[in-house]
Amino acid sequence: IEGASFLFLNEYELALAIQKTGWSDAEILDRVEVRIVTLGSDGAKVEARGKETIFVGVPKEKARVDPTGVGDSFRSGFIAGLAANLSHERCAQLGSMLATYVIETKGTQEYHFTRAEFLTRFESAYGAVAAKEISDHLGRFGFDASL
């Protein structure tokens, strides 16, 4: 944990880290640059020392089929956003959108969408400004046409 640039945890893992290290919630945050905690159906929060906490909600699900791989897909979307130099808020939104596609399908990589479908759902969840900010980067993520 000490010195990590980004620490990704879910609520259970955060509680376990507090228990196992003996550090408080604040002490764990003090040891990393950015901490991202996924909150299940409540979304995610992004925390950094001395900065306001960012809360990102979860896009509306069409169905809840299989939670396997949801955390991994959230992280992959977040990290893809980092690679594109997007804000932490946009990174968390990308991760949440991708995680929503994963939970709607059986299996971790069985989801399919087009670039247009992704952007439409993203805009519906997070607004036109957010969708515009990510749209130019989708090609670099492999979202060119149909996935």
Q: Does 11 fall in a domain?
A: yes
Q: Does 147 fall in a domain?
A: no
Q: What are the 10-residue block averages of pLDDT along the chain, 147 residues in total?
A: 94 97 96 96 94 96 85 94 95 96 81 86 96 84 52
Q: Are 133 and 86 in contact (CB under 8 A)?
A: yes
Q: Rounded to whole angstroms, how far apart are CA atoms 79 and 107?
A: 21
Q: Does 61 fall in a domain?
A: yes
Q: Are 70 and 109 in contact (CB under 8 A)?
A: no
Range of the structural domain that residue 27 is part of: 6-141
Per-residue pLDDT, 108: 67
Q: Rounded to whole angstroms, how far apart are CA atoms 96 and 63?
A: 15
Q: Does 1 fall in a domain?
A: no
- Annotated catalytic residues are 72
Q: Does 29 fall in a domain?
A: yes
How many domains is the chain built from? 1
Q: What is the pTM (predicted TM-score) of this model?
A: 0.91
State whether residue 114 is helix, strand or coil: strand
Which CATH number does the domain housing residue 60 bear? Answer: 3.40.1190.20
Q: Rounded to whole angstroms, how far apart are CA atoms 2 and 57?
A: 28
